[in-house]
Homo-oligomer: A and B are copies of this chain.
Amino acid sequence: MAFDLGAHLVRLGILSSTSDHTSVVSINLFVALLCTCIVIGHLLEENRWMNESITALGIGLCTGVVILLTTKGKSSHILVFSEDLFFIYLLPPIIFNAGFQVKKKQFFRNFMTIILFGAVGTLISFSIISLGAVGFFRRMDIGSLDIGDFLAIGAIFSATDSVCTLQVLNQDETPLLYSLVFGEGVVNDATSVVLFNAIQNFDLVHIDAIIVLKFVGNFFYLFLFSTFLGAFTGLLSAYIIKKLYMGRHSTDREVSLMMLMAYLSYMLAELLDLSGILTVFFCGIVMSHYTWHNVTESSRVTTKHAFATLSFISEIFLFLYVGMDALDIEKWKCVSDSPGKSIGVSSILLGLVLVGRAAFVFPLSFLSNLTKKSPIEKISFKQQITIWWAGLMRGAVSIALAYNQFTRSGHTQLRGNAMMITSTISVVLFSTVVFGLMTKPLIRLLLPSGGKHSGSMSSEPSTPKSLLSALLPNGQESQLEAGGLIVERPSSLRMLLSKPSHTVHYYWRKFDDAFMRPVFGGRGFVPFVPGSPTEQSLHGSE
């Protein structure tokens, strides 16, 4: 994320602050713990409450306690939390895979709602949390915090954790909720970047129309260029692989190139101070739409699972890491003399998070429902509650932001700063464990049908089946894109008139078929003949 790179010296991760032997021990321990998490996660699979991230968080906490006891209170972690490790190595594979496996149709149909939630919603939440923090904390004696710090608290606690969302929501069971909450989390990142830049660069005492305008302009600049960069890199990879026909010589080259170009898009965005998360997300979408169809059969299976695996390992690593880092004795020393106050601050923040999110989910859902005509597309009240609840979790992004803001000038020992960092950790732990544990049961309670009426379209990377089963209509729209060709039917005009979002989709498909696919490849670029050898080799069951 652009806002923290170049701003201050790195807190070094693996292999640098410690000696060689210690680092080998750390890596061993970490890899062994990762294996343990996977095995335990597998055994708990049928459990309706648990998920892998909470298991990892729990194991991380336990390990932290064990290390704390064996080192006699000296240190609780084997790795120092490093923003670099998080933003440069762990986050990109997770977000890329989310883009790669996302149900594109569901995502783009709700595009305006997602933008509304991610941009306007985050701003509302940010304002409420900032104002609330000013109101409550000024009255409490918790050390010196200036206006910048209060605004930062707003930004830190309005940063939805996309990774947690991926863990608790199931794309196949609740596609609408997934695309809304996860999409919001991705757009949320762009908003966070703008907010943080604003807090650190603008003169915040005199807010006037020009600053607000600059702010909005900045947001659109970031959003458009990040998206463009992601789409461009994705299309470039599709073009190279299609033009050079990479698979002719080696499958590995195709897979390598896809991996490296995806990573390149993220790093380029960081270099250009854009939102890497947005970029790599759209790169994933474009790659799954074009590049994935240009590679050989085995590359398709490999990329689908390899990207998911890398993302999976990164997620577990992340939660293990956060769990282990939470017990860092240094930070807790400063607040140990006033535990009551610390709990008070955490509770207030948690309350503000709950209120801040409620304050935008319900009004914006209402607004969004006004634009939809068919009742099936509207967000029901039960769904609104689930959206509110599922986005409450705060995760590693919040911790990274808190470190960035409150250890910036090196004054970690200041009471206010230490208090803020421990409160962030408390809120993250509490929200991930409690809200995370209760999301699955809540969804089962409120949406017993699993929200399946929202039509889960099959988009190949997420659900590769033989074409035969993909041809079976499993939703009213799937007929439209069967075989990648528009099937003109008598009812299509009426349908388009009644559902305006489909008009955009219709023209996009026309444009896609006429211009994009001939150049960049993709599912439709070889005419579909059922049972033909081309079809066999392109769409055959894996």
Q: Are B84 and A249 in contact (CB under 8 A)?
A: no
- When the two chains form the complex, which single residue of B24, B35, B246, B259 contacts A257, counting CB atoms closer than 8 Å? B35
Q: For window 1-41 of chain A, which residues contact chain B by CB distance below 8 Å?
A: 4-10, 12-13, 15-16, 19-21, 23-25, 27-28, 31-32, 34-35, 38-39, 41
Q: Report the separation of the CA atoms of residues A271 and B253 in the bound assembly, to the nearest whole angstrom.
A: 33
Give the chain B neighbours of A259 by CB distance below 8 A: 309, 313
Q: Report the separation of the CA atoms of residues A10 and B10 in the bound assembly, to the nearest whole angstrom.
A: 17
- When the two chains form the complex, which single residue of B20, B25, B261, B309 contacts A256, counting CB atoms closer than 8 Å? B309
With A12-B16, A31-B260, A313-B259 in contact, do A271 and B25 touch (Cβ < 8 Å)? yes
Name the interface size band of chain A: 35 or more
Give the chain B neighbours of A255 by CB distance below 8 A: 305-306, 309
- When the two chains form the complex, which single residue of B19, B35, B41, B270 contacts A24, counting CB atoms closer than 8 Å? B270
Q: Are B256 and A312 in contact (CB under 8 A)?
A: yes
Q: Are A264 and B31 in contact (CB under 8 A)?
A: yes
Any chain B CB within 8 A of the CB of A463?
no
How near does chain B come to A202, taking the closest CB pair, in angstroms?
22
Q: Report the separation of the CA atoms of residues A276 and B252 in the bound assembly, to the nearest whole angstrom.
A: 25
Any chain B CB within 8 A of the CB of A485?
no
- When the two chains form the complex, which single residue of B21, B31, B38, B42 contacts A5, counting CB atoms closer than 8 Å? B21
Give the chain B neighbours of A20 by CB distance below 8 A: 4-10, 84
Q: Are A260 and B35 in contact (CB under 8 A)?
A: yes
Any chain B CB within 8 A of the CB of A297?
yes
Q: Report the separation of the CA atoms of residues A259 and B312 in the bound assembly, to the nearest whole angstrom.
A: 12
With A5-B21, A84-B20, A312-B253 in contact, do A35 and B267 touch (Cβ < 8 Å)? no
| Known contacts A7-B20, A24-B88, A306-B306; 5 further A-B pairs (Cβ under 8 A) | A12-B16, A28-B267, A41-B253, A42-B246, A302-B304
With A249-B42, A301-B301 in contact, do A28 and B264 touch (Cβ < 8 Å)? yes
How near does chain B come to A28, taking the closest CB pair, in angstroms?
5
Any chain B CB within 8 A of the CB of A107?
no
A372-392 interface code vs B (CB 8 A; 1 in, 0 out): 000000000000000000000
Q: Report the separation of the CA atoms of residues A308 and B302 in the bound assembly, to the nearest whole angstrom.
A: 11
A240-273 interface code vs B (CB 8 A; 1 in, 0 out): 1000101001111101110111011001101100
With A301-B301, A306-B255 in contact, do A42 and B244 touch (Cβ < 8 Å)? yes
Q: Are A28 and B309 in contact (CB under 8 A)?
A: no
With A6-B19, A19-B6, A267-B31 in contact, do A257 and B305 touch (Cβ < 8 Å)? no
Q: Are A252 and B301 in contact (CB under 8 A)?
A: no
Give the chain B neighbours of A251 by CB distance below 8 A: 305, 308
Q: Report the separation of the CA atoms of residues A21 and B7 in the bound assembly, to the nearest whole angstrom.
A: 9
Any chain B CB within 8 A of the CB of A469?
no
Give the chain B neighbours of A477 by CB distance below 8 A: none
Any chain B CB within 8 A of the CB of A342?
no
How near does chain B come to A123, taking the closest CB pair, in angstroms?
28
Q: Which residue of B lies closest to A85 (CB)?
A: B15
Q: Report the separation of the CA atoms of residues A542 and B4 in the bound assembly, to the nearest whole angstrom.
A: 45
